[in-house]
Structure 1
Amino acid sequence: MTDKRLNATSTIAAVILLFTACFILYRTSLKVPFLFDDLLFISSNSSSNWGISVFFHNMGIFISRPLLGLSFAANYEISRNSPAGFHIGNLIIHSINCSLIFFVLKKLLRTTYGELTILNKNIVSFSGALFFLVHPLATESVTYVSGRSSLLYTMFLLLSVLLYISFEENKGEWKWFFYGFSLLAYVASLASKEIAAICPLILIAVIFFFLLRDNKKLNLIPILPFFFIPIATVLLRKASLLSGASPDGTSRNIIVQLMTEIYVLAESVFKVLFPVNLNFDPDYSDITTPIDSGFFIGLIVLTFMIAAVFYVRKKNPFIVFSILFFLISFSPHLFIRLRDYMSERWLYFPLISVSFLIAGILATTSGKNQARGFVKYSPAAIIFVVIVIFSALTLSRLEVWQSADLIWTDTVKKSPGKFRVHANLGHVFLREEKFPEAEKELLKAININKEYAEVHYDLAQVYSNLGKDELAYAEYGNALKYMTYYDDPAYSVYYNSMINMGVISFKNGDKQKAMELFSNAIKLDNRYPQAFNNLGIVFMNMGDMEKAELNFLMALNRDPKYAMAYYNLADVYIKEGRNDEAAEILKKVKSVKPD
């Protein structure tokens, strides 16, 4: 078999194996339902108002990441509201990313380890890509549908790097073709997630460590557009971001941000090397003093990484590049202030550094001039064992992702002092009608931070379902107290709290208070039928049939399919002896609610 044919055959086999391994390893992710932000970004949009054609007219929350939104819209066109369809989309992108890592490694090995056989280069490249594929730290990005932003920007950024390497290597007429498409891929990466702006720094490192061979001079002019594009994008969107303003409005001292993130960097390195005790919502406390042990640990790790770069810079470019790759891809988190210091899905792209590390180790021990026997094969054997262990850890982590209560229960154990994890687990238990468990978690959340209206609202719902109306009324009141604005009507804590307090007041015989609350809800937002219907019930109970009829009609005017208002209106007509009109109303209700 010729070298050319061997290369083609082994390359095709590697890509097929990567795709197959990905789908086998992550097969249980296809059973994972929509979770957390998926319910907001995807499930709530999965209706007649969702799809590619509608997306281009109204990008909504995806205005800053249009390609991410487009991928979800396209996914919906294919699989509708099936979570499995969206998970398949994530698996395809993850498989493509692993394949792109294979091709990038293969190209870079050709420039630095020319003595390796074609088959050895492909095996080394495949091993690096496979290590990334099975790494447990990638589980969150791959399994969590909303984590697709990390998958997507990684795919386009890797493609941009691969095409830029081809541009640097090519001397013929295709040279500028590769350059142009490298730029386009970079723009696509930015349109998937803004952190892709690190691409030019990655390219400079690639050039410096792999492409400056045979006395080739350093030429960074082609890199300049890669710097200008994100600056222009930011200026077009929001110039204040150039000043270092937080994208999500987080206010935090920049020194505190830097010291805390240096510790987070150290912990992230540990997770890359030893991916155990993974946590969907890690809890980091602000580091406010340089004598904090966390900051000291972070400085030691950072110093060690920088020293390692200088120590092995001439011995193994892959190992040096793996360290720099991680530092470059992590660096935006040092300065960009976000509500959370770190999330494991944000480490998806930095995780690629392990692929370069594995390739560097295997390439060094596979060279023709290396020792034979144990020294030659022990690294490969160790890496094989680690791949098997990591695969088992990934399968174990996937079990936790099978439902919302499993993932939040796991997270509560690992971040017991964090408000959000208790609040979210309580909300999940409420949805599952596990009311005692929900009460326990929501009270823990309130004990940590009492100023979130949504948590008080959930607790009120729990008490209502447990028949504890007095406690429910108090918690609805707390929801109104801490909800300082009228929120989204689709999930209106403010509006619904007023409605539910009115219902409790009516049940307790306080009709005037109930009337006041329902009337206030109508003044707040008169587009919805519930308050009109409930106010009509109060008037009907007080014997004022005229006002009761008016309010039921107003409810039906807001929602002609609101069956409860039809029944109540028919009841008014029956009480007034208008039986024919009542019969007509009951006919209508059957048309809107056949069952």
Structure 2
Amino acid sequence: MNQSVADSPHRTTLRRQLAALREKQWPRYLFLAAIGFLVHLPALQGQPVWDDDYLAHDNPFIKSPLLALEAFRHYLFLDSYSPHYRPVQNLSFMADYYFWNTDPTGFHLTNILLHVGSGLLLYRLLILLFRKGAGIWNNTDSRSNFAASLAAFLIAALWMVHPVHSAAVDYISGRADSLAFLFAAGGWLLVLHGRAVQSPGIKLIFYSLAGICGVLSLCSREIACVWILLFLVHTLAFARNIRRKTKIVTVICCVCVLTIYAGLHQLPGERVEKGGSEHWSAPVRATLMLRSLGDYGRLMVFPANLHMERTIFEPNNYRTRQSWRNSADSEYLSILGLCILAAFIYGCAKAGIGQRMRVIGAIWFLAAYLPISNIVSLNATVAEHWLYLPSVGFLIFLAGCTFDLPRSFQRPLAGVAVFAVVALGMRSTIRSTDWCDPETFYKRTLAAGGGGARVEVNLGLIYGRHGDYAKAEKLFRHVLALTPHYPIARTNLADVLSRQGKLTEAEALLTNAAKIAPLESKEYPRTWMGIYNLAGLRHNAKDDAGAIALLDHARINYPQVWELVSCESELVRRTQGPLAALDLVQNFVRKNWWHHAARLAEGRLYAENGDTSHSIEALRYAAMLDVHDVEALRLIATMKMHENRLDEAFQAQRRAVARQPDQPSQYILLSDILEKLGRSSEARAARAKVSQLQALAMESGRG
């Protein structure tokens, strides 16, 4: 009895401590960050997939901070019809490349951190939007603050772990969504905090930073325009205690942000997007809008079948009765889309304490859904990662629905939400494993129903690299049977045929591809690959003159393709000498000063021609255009050593070692220079480092 009495104060104290902890925000932020990181942990082991090879590896604009401003003068993809203008995405890759070189782990880590940061900012934003007086939450109940805070937390948690975001988090090239989200949410928060301070100077700082965030968000992904719309809707229609003058200034500032973005978007020049939906009629578009709405609603509630290359429109399914039956699932999506639209309308019309929350949720979802609804031409009919922003509105709408339910239902629904966080988190973890390596990714995509020529061609390329030419040939022929004019499949089929010794068929395919390449270039990118491969066949057949003539003619239609210029300059160098090849490379460099490979080739040709001073100048430029380049520095060190300018050779090679400290070859050259300088002890240390690295390599090979 006495023991029970003694325990009661301790229990009371514990309850008070737990209640106090529940009121604190930092445990919630910590929990959100932890689950966001853990569910995507498998992605850290992932290899580059799909566009990652270009954007995070070969992309010339990520190689050096010197190119930070140049990134604003180009589209995301150089050799593509895609009109994506996303310089901030390139800047983020530039930071990753600077610290991680081409190690994909670092790029994946940044993706996860961007997503986690976006989730934390979302939670903070919802806390401020749901508080009393913000115009969305009108309940005067004493527990309303806790209910609003819990709703914000559960929305952020569900959004953080939802598997539909996998392509935006686990896929390196998909980070544009999280970048735009991070900057837009951050900008909105800066405005809200700026309104709360009294000092005009601090207000100006907050608002200026918010404007910068708005521009950065727009330069990350075009969907940021929707963020600005949502911000204006809240400011003009929902926010309270804001003067009319403040609202007018807010609109003007948003227009200024959009104007700055529009001006930046003009820097690369016009690029016409090639899509397949330009001729769809209005009824077809309306049907696809309902189907996509149904598919997105289904994915939000039950994200079972997740994959890239989704589609809700397959014309071939309507040719026979049986194929029409196979597409019945798509037809039901239209009905589901109608039901979801009706639910939004009913929820917005129904009065109650959660009505304004349902209205803002519906506006949020539909405003972000319309650009991806097929109302305009897109490069796909649906895509999971397009839900990155709309999903927030969907979850806000559901939260608004629960607030008008009897209180006896609300606690069990909170438990259901917690269970959903666990279930969705597990599904996200499983989905993350799909991105572990390219072969697994493409195979699982095909198995899940994500067909498409690109998937099969990329899988065929992997088979070809593994030497399984028969499998690769089968895939390429299948793609060409479905899309006979797909040039990349034709070019790669010719490549695997040539590797199998079927040179006659390969050359016939490539000859035809070279003839029609200028025509096909109006519909497909990278049609020059057929010409490039045909030149390779001509070279292998000892017909360098024919290969040069082919490449020389191709430069008329493809003057900015370095691969063609590089191939031709190498053949010219072998047959006509370095001076003739130098002219080709210099013409390219004049128009593309930022191209590292071209500068490196220029330096080599100068060196071969005996022009050391110009060679070193070009190589130094090349070394600046790629912060991890060692070849240019090695060549400089070699030339300086031959000129007996040993101190300069040592400085150049020391920089090369700093850039590539795990390569024995760098220490070998360094030891040679040190020996000539008479620094024998340092030379021995360099050679010891060579032995150490070689031993580590052998040990790693055995493992």
Matched residue SS, 1:340: coil
CA deviations on 1:322-358 (whole Å, 9 max, x unpaired) are 2221101112234442222332222211122244246
Is 1:116–2:143 an aligned residue pair? Answer: yes
Give unmatched runs, 5+ long, in structure 2.
1-12, 77-83, 319-329, 556-563, 586-600, 609-641, 643-664, 670-703
Matched residue SS, 2:382: coil
Task: Measure, in 1, the Cα distance between the counterparts of 2:459 and 2:185.
Answer: 37
Percent of paired sites with the same residue:
20
AA partner of residue 538 (structure 2): G
Offset of residue 178 of structure 1: 4.3
In structure 2, what is the equivalent of residue 252 of structure 1? 278
Q: How does 1:228-267 map to 2 (within 5 A)?
A: 229-231=257-259, 233-234=261-262, 237-238=265-266, 247=273, 252-253=278-279, 255=282, 256-267=284-295
Q: How does 1:440-451 map to 2 (within 5 A)?
A: 440-451=474-485
Task: Measure, in 2, the Cα distance between the counterparts of 1:491 and 1:265.
Answer: 35
TM-score (norm 2): 0.66
AA partner of residue 224 (structure 1): V
Give unmatched runs, 5+ long, in structure 1.
537-548, 566-587
Offset of residue 30 of structure 1: 0.8
The count of aligned residue pairs is 534
In structure 2, what is the equivalent of residue 502 of structure 1? 538
Offset of residue 228 of structure 1: 5.0
Offset of residue 182 of structure 1: 3.1
Distance change >3 Å, CA 321–CA 467, structure 1 → 2: same
Offset of residue 477 of structure 1: 2.8
In structure 2, what is the equivalent of residue 338 of structure 1? 378
Kept in 2: contact 1:453–1:481 (CA 8 A): no
CA deviations on 1:100-157 (whole Å, 9 max, x unpaired) are 1111221123222453376655443222211111100011100111111111111111
In structure 1, what is the equivalent of residue 547 of structure 2? 518
Task: Measure, in 2, the Cα distance between the counterparts of 1:218 and 1:306.
Answer: 33
CA deviations on 1:418-472 (whole Å, 9 max, x unpaired) are 3332222222322333322222221121111121222111111212222332332
Kept in 2: contact 1:259–1:287 (CA 8 A): no
Distance change >3 Å, CA 527–CA 221, structure 1 → 2: closer
1:14 to 19, 23, 28: 28
Task: Measure, in 1, the Cα distance between the counterparts of 2:567 and 2:209.
Answer: 54
Task: Measure, in 1, the Cα distance between the counterparts of 2:496 and 2:565.
Answer: 27
Task: Measure, in 2, the Cα distance between the counterparts of 1:251 and 1:231.
Answer: 29
In structure 2, what is the equivalent of residue 270 of structure 1? 298
Is 1:319–2:358 an aligned residue pair? Answer: yes
Deviates more, 1:279-288 or 1:330-339: 279-288
TM-score (norm 1): 0.77
Task: Measure, in 2, the Cα distance between the counterparts of 1:130 and 1:217.
Answer: 36
Task: Measure, in 2, the Cα distance between the counterparts of 1:396 and 1:384.
Answer: 19
Task: Measure, in 2, the Cα distance between the counterparts of 1:484 and 1:491.
Answer: 8
2:529 to 490, 493, 503: 493
The runs of 4+ residues in structure 1 deviating greater than 6 Å are: 215-219, 239-242, 286-289, 485-491, 552-562
Distance change >3 Å, CA 110–CA 237, structure 1 → 2: closer
In structure 2, what is the equivalent of residue 183 of structure 1? 211
Task: Give the RMSD, CA atoms, in angstroms.
Answer: 4.3
Is 1:32–2:46 an aligned residue pair? Answer: yes
In structure 2, what is the equivalent of residue 103 of structure 1? 124
Distance change >3 Å, CA 489–CA 250, structure 1 → 2: closer
Task: Measure, in 2, the Cα distance between the counterparts of 1:275 and 1:204.
Answer: 32
Task: Measure, in 1, the Cα distance between the counterparts of 2:525 and 2:570.
Answer: 16
2:223 to 195, 200, 221: 195
Matched residue SS, 2:52: helix
Distance change >3 Å, CA 359–CA 106, structure 1 → 2: farther
AA partner of residue 137 (structure 1): V
Task: Measure, in 1, the Cα distance between the counterparts of 2:388 and 2:105.
Answer: 21
CA deviations on 1:490-539 (whole Å, 9 max, x unpaired) are 995144222243257x3xxxx7xx46633423533695467975x99xxx
Task: Measure, in 2, the Cα distance between the counterparts of 1:318 and 1:489.
Answer: 45
Q: How does 1:5-404 map to 2 (within 5 A)?
A: 6=20, 10-45=24-59, 50-59=63-72, 60-62=74-76, 64-111=85-132, 112=137, 113=139, 115-116=142-143, 121-167=148-194, 178-207=206-235, 210-212=238-240, 220-225=247-252, 226-227=254-255, 229-231=257-259, 233-234=261-262, 237-238=265-266, 247=273, 252-253=278-279, 255=282, 256-285=284-313, 293=331, 298-311=337-350, 315-334=354-373, 335-357=375-397, 359-360=399-400, 371-372=407-408, 375-404=409-438
AA partner of residue 501 (structure 1): L
Matched residue SS, 2:85: coil
Task: Measure, in 2, the Cα distance between the counterparts of 1:491 and 1:481.
Answer: 11
